[in-house]
Amino acid sequence: MTLSKYDTDFANAMALKLRLNREARQSRDSDEVKQSKEHETVIVPTNAPYDRNEEIQKLVAKHPGLTPEKAEQGLRELGF
C-alpha cells in the first residue's frame, strides 16, 4: 500500500515537528540541570556546624513528595 502525496507530506511534517520538539526539550532540560546544580550548591562556613537532619527537613519541606530517605541519598550523591 502506498501513501498519497498528502499523507506522505503530512508524515514528513510530523516527523520534523517531533524531532524539533525533542531537540528543544533536550536542550531545555540540559539548561535546567545546569541551572539547578548552580542554585542547589550549599556553601557551609567552616566555623558553622552542619546539621544534616535540619538540611534534610528543609529539603523535604521544599519539595513535596520527597522522602527523607531520597533526600539523604541525594545528599550522599552530591558529596554532602
Q: Are residues 32 and 59 in the same domain?
A: no
Least confident of 1-5, 9-13, 47-51: 47-51
**What distance in Å separates the CA atoms of residue 49 and residue 32, rounded to the nearest whole number?**
31
Q: Are residues 33 and 46 in the same domain?
A: no
Q: Which residues contact 21 (CB under 8 A, 6 or more apart)?
A: none
Q: Are residues 37 and 49 in the same domain?
A: no
**What distance in Å separates the CA atoms of residue 47 and residue 13, rounded to the nearest whole number?**
60
SS3 annotation, 46-66: CCCCCCHHHHHHHHHHHCCCC
Residue 37, pLDDT above cutoff 60: no
Q: Are residues 6 and 27 in the same domain?
A: yes
Number of domains observed in the structure of the chain: 2
Query: What domain range is 8 assigned to?
Result: 1-41
Of residues 60 and 33, more confidence is placed in 60
Per-residue model confidence (pLDDT) at position 78:
81
- DSSP at 79: T
Q: pLDDT tens-digit profile of 56-76?
A: 888 889 988 999 888 888 888
Q: Are residues 32 and 54 in the same domain?
A: no
Q: Are residues 36 and 48 in the same domain?
A: no
Q: Looking up cell 542554585, which residue turns up?
A: 39
